[in-house]
Amino acid sequence: MTVNHDPNRIIIFDTTLRDGEQSPGASMNLEEKLRIAETLEELGVDVIEAGFPIASNGDFEAVNEISKVVRKPIICGLARSGKADIERAAEALQPAERKRIHTFIATSPLHMKYKLQMEPEEVLQQVVDSVSHARNFTDDVDWSPEDGSRSDPDFLCRTVEAAISAGATCINLPDTVGYVIPEEFGGLIAMLRERVPNSDKAIFSAHCHNDLGLAVANSLAAVQAGARQVECTINGLGERAGNAALEEIVMAIRTRKDMLAYETGINTEVITRASRLVSAVTGFAVQPNKAIVGANAFAHEAGIHQDGVLKHAGTYEIMTPESVGLVESKLVMGKHSGRHAFREKIRELGYEIGDNQMQDAFRRFKDLADKKKDVYDEDIVALIDDEVMRENDRIRFKSLQVVCGSVGPQTAELALEIDGEERATKASGDGPVDATFNAITELFPHEARLQLYQVHAVTEGTDAQAEVTVRLEENGKTVNGQGADTDTLVASARAYVNALNKLLVKREKTAPTALSA
């Protein structure tokens, strides 16, 4: 049987939740992964690689929950070649409407000799065994030769042929270390399609890393050589220099139809929202000049450019901001807006929240409208995100009073509610942020180390809300906390407290004995 696939349709396989999450510091909790998966569904990705189920209970749970909730895309779980990995992936994927197992083993001389310590013939046998075993659980099996781009071409052809004979329906070629250049990678895909006798029975796929900044170019070269799936991540999130950026591949295909006569199923208007969500959840800021989703990607500063764009947008714009969902900030409501209008606004922004959360959110919205002249959609999103994130928190922010300025000492008077009991303290530090964090540590002693402190203005103007990300690390595990407020220090305290709450959940899940704070 040959594959029945529209020859011009490119399958978008998103691995933000698997390869993206492997990026140090980018860890996400279940709730965050679910929100991202739902956004990926809206974005229209074809496949979501939701995790590596044997890697941790958290990964298993994420793949399992996403399989229950997200119905349109195929849900995929990663597995090494061993039976236990494949069975764990199959178990996690059990509730999925459409499921895929992605199994891999390294095929390059370097990886086989030093990492696997296996002979090539043993690896070949594992390819057959793993793919055949995966086929016991699903008809949709993706097989990857890890470090494929640095593998011996003859051996690569043998493994690919064996994988397809054993039942792989997709052959994904990873450039694991981001080493190749576009012509070379396109050549590898073309070679496999030409030389492997049963190549017409599988879809070929590209999985490119960005160590030389070529991941998107390599992915597009693969498409031009016949690959019909690309594995990519939102914002190019991923280990080291990251993976190929979904938004860049999709917009290149959309914008350059004349050279790339292909289609994707992506609703490009959701790109900006997906990018912001991934950035907020991971604390990985998007560089301002990043293609498609950077803050400056559609900004025209130079007078000569502004003049041209005003006369005809096409003079300096090859795609419209609207096409990626970048719309002018909308003034939504002011301090006279009522509860009903607020509830409608929240619905329109895509949130479903319970009555208690709605009451708290409305109260905070009123406070915000009192402090801030104009309240935009982004303000409401930041506020609701902040509220939603705190639903099950053991530690809650109550109040903060800070003394700062050029004459020290800077002090922070802080009140928190911990397991329902209010506690307060006063602490000093090297600056107001340090004093605030010291006060939190006094009230809730812990050993976690601060790895990142980042402030971002939600909208323009000096009355803008600050959105703060705090990354904490404890015993090799990292969490990202967020907080938003018009007062940067309150936002900082909220973000730190949010990170601590996440750490508590993580501790509970991984080592119950370490629970005492």
Exposed, middle or buried by CB within 10 Å (0-12, 13-18, 19+), for 9?
middle
- Residue 52 touches which member of ligand KIV, Zn ion, none, C-beta under 5-8 Å by kind: none
Beta bridge partners of 442: none
Contact 304, 315 (CB under 8 A): no
- Residue 104 touches which member of ligand KIV, Zn ion, none, C-beta under 5-8 Å by kind: ligand KIV
Q: Indicate the SS3 state at residue 283.
A: coil
- Nearest approach in angstroms of CB 148 to ligand KIV is 7
Closer CB to ligand KIV, 99 or 507, in the complex: 99
- Residue 247 touches which member of ligand KIV, Zn ion, none, C-beta under 5-8 Å by kind: none
Buried b (16+ CB within 10 A) or exposed e, 327-345: eeeeebbeeebeeeebeeb
Q: Which residues ranging from 121 to 150 are in contact with Zn ion (CB under 5 A)?
A: none
Q: Is 44 left (phi over 0), alpha (psi -120 to 50) or beta?
A: left
- Nearest approach in angstroms of CB 415 to ligand KIV is 46
Closer CB to ligand KIV, 245 or 466, in the complex: 245
Closer CB to ligand KIV, 104 or 185, in the complex: 104
Closer CB to Zn ion, 19 or 473, in the complex: 19
Phi first, then psi: give them for residue 77, nearest 5 degrees.
-125, 140
Closer CB to ligand KIV, 207 or 471, in the complex: 207
- Nearest approach in angstroms of CB 154 to ligand KIV is 20
Closer CB to ligand KIV, 89 or 383, in the complex: 89
Is 19 near Zn ion (CB under 5 A)?
yes
- Rounded to whole angstroms, the Cα distance separating 399 from 492 reads 12
- Nearest approach in angstroms of CB 190 to ligand KIV is 20
The helix (H) or strand (E) run that includes residue 497 is helix 488-510
Closer CB to Zn ion, 152 or 211, in the complex: 211
Sheet with 410-418, edge to edge strand ranges: 395-403, 410-418, 421-429
Buried b (16+ CB within 10 A) or exposed e, 51-60: bbbbbeebbb
Contact 284, 36 (CB under 8 A): no
Q: What is the DSSP string of 285-330?
A: PPPTT-TTTSTTTT---SHHHHHHHHH-GGGT-SS-GGGGT--PPP
Closer CB to ligand KIV, 138 or 233, in the complex: 233
- Residue 146 touches which member of ligand KIV, Zn ion, none, C-beta under 5-8 Å by kind: ligand KIV
Q: How far is CA 221 from the centre of its chain?
A: 24
Q: Which stretch binds Zn ion (CB under 5 A): 17-25, 111-119, 382-390, 458-466?
A: 17-25
- Specify the pairing of strand 229-232 against strand 375-376: unpaired
- Nearest approach in angstroms of CB 157 to Zn ion is 22
- Nearest approach in angstroms of CB 361 to ligand KIV is 39
- Specify the pairing of strand 331-333 against strand 375-376: antiparallel
- Residue 144 touches which member of Zn ion, ligand KIV, none, C-beta under 5-8 Å by kind: ligand KIV
> Site size for Zn ion, by CB under 5 A?
1
Residues that bind ligand KIV (CB under 6 A): 19, 104, 144, 146, 174, 176, 207, 209
- Nearest approach in angstroms of CB 231 to ligand KIV is 7
Q: Which stretch binds Zn ion (CB under 5 A): 12-20, 136-144, 270-278, 379-387?
A: 12-20
Report the interface residues with Zn ion, using CB under 5 A.
19
